[in-house]
Amino acid sequence: MFRPRVIPTLLLEDNQLVKTEKFKSPTYVGDPVNAIKVFNDKGVDEIVVLDITASIEGRKPDIEFISHMCGEAFMPFSYGGGITTVKEIKQLIKGGVEKVVLNASIQNDLNLVKDAAKEIGSQSIVACVDIKSNWLGKQMVYSHQSGKSLKIDIVRHIEALQNAGCGEIILQSVDLDGTMKGYDLNLIEKVSKVCTVPLVVLGGVGNFSHLEEGIEAGASAASAGSFFVFHGKHKAVLITYPTQEELAKLNS
């Protein structure tokens, strides 16, 4: 028996923790190293840290700082943001990162995925795919770096990522980010049908039932941001994580 993973995704801006809404208006939520310590003490399944301005600013991963965060993580730790070369991926893995999350650098060219999978192994290569509705309501792959939707078919993109050697996919809804209204279940169902590697879903979680819905819709693992860092209707910053008894409800 296994239990689908429940994964806090933390966002970094200038090495500080923030939380966004629909990819906008970042709110400061604390110090990342301290947050990771708290999550570690709560026995979290895994943690994902994404630097949300690295690619926009053309900044490389801050290996020393990332390694410092990893030192507090006695669970799998994934990092994404500003990664463009196999060399950087190797440095990150050597620095204690389990998995790297690629997004901006692989939207048009999958060679980084291919080369990295060959040298490091698919299990460490995660692709994050951001999905946003355009003004006609059509869902497209979104580029956070350029602030534009790309003319890429979602299903074809997922298939291409798998074929290139990604070992896991994070499917994120930009429209639901920070809204705490629940996952985009139609999107998850659609993607899960073609996904042969573990599928992590992100964007919209506001309560525990939302996590269950995501898993039922076909996700392998349920991720969230706001749900783990905000508490109450005034969104006071408080780090929480479900108990093992609660998580056992997700067993399959």
Q: Which of 195, 217, 229, 239 binds another protein (CB under 8 A)?
A: 195
Give the nearest distance from C-beta 130 to another protein in angstroms.
21
Rank residues 19 and 99 by Cβ distance to another protein and give the closer one. 99
Q: Is 63 in the site for another protein (CB under 8 A)?
A: no
Site size toward another protein (CB under 8 A) is 37
Q: Catalytic residue, from 51, 130, 177, 184: name it.
A: 130
> What DSSP line would sit under 95-149, residue for residue?
TT-SEEEE-GGGSS--HHHHHHHHHH-GGGEEEEEEEEE-TTS-EEEEETTTTEE
Strand pairing category for 5-13 and 221-224: parallel
Q: Is 197 in the site for another protein (CB under 8 A)?
A: yes
The 217-236 site mask, x for binding another protein (CB under 8 A), equals ---xx---------------
Is 130 designated active site?
yes
- In this structure, what token pair is assigned to residue 220? 């392998």
Q: Which of 59, 60, 94, 148 binds another protein (CB under 8 A)?
A: 94
Read off the amino acid at residue 31. Answer: D
φ/ψ of 154, rounded to 5, equals -60, -50
- Select the span of 66-74, 129-137, 174-182, 207-215 touching another protein (CB under 8 A): 66-74
- Select the span of 1-9, 58-66, 139-147, 173-181 touching another protein (CB under 8 A): 1-9
Q: Is 43 in the site for another protein (CB under 8 A)?
A: yes
Place of tokens 């620095």: 95
Q: Is 91 in the site for another protein (CB under 8 A)?
A: no
CB 203 within 8 A of CB 172: yes
Three-state secondary structure call for residue 11: strand
Q: Is 45 in the site for another protein (CB under 8 A)?
A: yes
Q: Which residue in 86, 152, 145 sits closest to 114, CA to CA?
A: 86
d(CA 70, CA 99): 11
Is the C-alpha dihedral spanning 204, 133, 127, 156 positive or negative?
positive
Q: Is 7 in the site for another protein (CB under 8 A)?
A: no
Q: Is 69 in the site for another protein (CB under 8 A)?
A: no
d(CA 235, CA 252): 32
Q: How far is CA 103 from CA 109, 113, 142, 146, 148, in A?
A: 11, 10, 10, 12, 14
Q: Is 8 in the site for another protein (CB under 8 A)?
A: no
Place of tokens 């926009």: 56
- Select the span of 58-66, 121-129, 173-181, 233-241 touching another protein (CB under 8 A): 121-129
Q: Is 71 in the site for another protein (CB under 8 A)?
A: yes
Q: Is 67 in the site for another protein (CB under 8 A)?
A: yes
Instruction: Give residues in contact with another protein (CB under 8 A).
Output: 1-5, 40, 43, 45-46, 67, 70-71, 74-76, 93-98, 120-124, 167-168, 195-199, 220-221, 244, 248
Residues classed as catalytic: 130
